[in-house]
Amino acid sequence: MVFFLSLLVFLSCYGLVESDCGKGEYETEGIAFGWFTRCKDCQVGTYNNVVGEECKACDGGTYAGEEGAEHCISCPRGQYTDTVGSTECTQCPQGTYTNTKGATQCDPCPAGSYNDKQGQVQCVECGAGHYSTLGAVQCTPCELGDTSPAGSTNSSACTSHCSGGYMHVVTNETHTLCEECPAGSYSELGAVNCTLCTTGTYSVNGSDRCTPCPPGTYNTIDGAENCSLCESGYYSNITHCEQCPDNMTSETGAASPEDCYLAESESEASEPAPVPDILSNTSKSSAGPSVTLVCYIIAGVLTLAVIVGMAVVVWKNRKSTDKLGELGTSVMFSRAETYCNDYGTCDNEGKEEEEDEEKKG
């Protein structure tokens, strides 16, 4: 007995008898009068995210589906829980929805919509010929022969007339609904069917009237969805394009005869001026040669004069060169003679001395 108590004291001194529990756990008493502690996982529906603390229940809109949770999970969209310590979330019932994470309740579908499935994040709008009130699981059809716009919220929206741009359609349920008129047609208030637009007009989907083609455009068929531009050289007459008068043209999309203009004057304005032909007589006028022809003649004469002048200058330069050559030769012989006199007998002088000696002998 003494040995056992000594062992307990030894273990407690080294901190092995008592210790803090980790996250997702909680502390329970062990054996030997509380000397030993034991940690256990937090139960489902509870959590612990602080070391040494106790487990706490999950708040509404959250849950913990497994033991040892360190935190709770928010309910996904389309589900909720309004209970503290939940282990799971519940799907929104029919006629309700939620688009919020961690919801504690589901919202009823607004009037004019419905929801016939569980766990939905939005409701579906009631179609034409039907209506619904708040939190509807399904839409209520109008009485036989009546119809209503899509999203109607009560029975007073059901009438026997469709609005403009719509026509009556009988469904398989033998109820009437209003369907949008297609492009190229129209309907007025209360019309049973849609009517095609006439030539020169057009319409888009759901129109209660047809629109005339804009200026510069046309169409040639009934039930047109749009209008086309008139080509160049034509102008619009709403139902077709008229050609501009002779020698006249127009831009694309011309709206009236006033938009046509003279083709010749326009082309001449855009074309470059012709190059004059100096070899023909087409540029002459009744007053005599044209100014351009005279300019060409004067330019030719001036060019010829320049060529002759250059030839004369070259000829004079050559004569001057010849004179300078003769002058240079004379100077050269004069300098040679001076050299012979100053520094000794030249070949010619030596020859003359030999001839004199022969005569003396």
Question: Does the pLDDT of residue 166 top 50, yes or no?
Answer: yes
Average pLDDT over residues 172-178: 63
Angle, alpha carbons 21-9-13 (nearest 5°): 55
Q: What is the pLDDT of residue 292?
A: 60
- Which of the given ranges, 50-64, 230-244, 328-342, has the highest pLDDT on average? 50-64
Three-class SS string for the chain? CHHHHHHHHHHHHCCCCCCCCCCCEEEEECCCCCCCEEEEECCCCEECCCCCCCCEECCCCEECCCCCCCCCEECCCCEECCCCCCCCCEECCCCEECCCCCCCCCEECCCCEECCCCCCCCCEECCCCEECCCCCCCCEECCCCCECCCCECCHHHCECCCCCCEEEEECCCCCEEEEECCCCEECCCCCCCCEECCCCEECCCCCCCCEECCCCEECCCCCCCCCEECCCCEEECECCEEECCCCEECCCCECCHHHCEEHHHHHHHHCCCCCCCCCCCCCCECCECCHHHHHHHHHHHHHHHHHHHHHHHHHHHHHHHHHHHHHHHHHHHHHHHHHHHHHCCCHHHHHHHHHHHHHHC
Q: What is the pLDDT of residue 215?
A: 87
Q: What is the pLDDT of residue 38?
A: 82
Query: 81-115 pLDDT, tens per residue?
Result: 999 999 999 999 999 999 999 999 999 999 999 99
Question: Does the pLDDT of residue 285 top 50, yes or no?
Answer: no
Query: 118-145 pLDDT, tens per residue?
Result: 999 999 999 888 999 999 999 998 887 6
Average pLDDT over residues 303-325: 72
Q: What is the pLDDT of residue 33?
A: 47
Query: 37-89 pLDDT, tens per residue?
Result: 689 999 999 999 988 889 999 999 999 999 999 999 999 999 999 999 999 99
Question: Does the pLDDT of residue 11 top 60, yes or no?
Answer: no
Question: Does the pLDDT of residue 3 top 60, yes or no?
Answer: no
Average pLDDT over residues 258-263: 88
Question: Does the pLDDT of residue 167 top 90, yes or no?
Answer: no
Q: What is the pLDDT of residue 62?
A: 96
- Which of the given ranges, 23-37, 47-61, 306-320, has the highest pLDDT on average? 47-61
- pLDDT band of residue 29 (cuts 50, 70, 90) is low
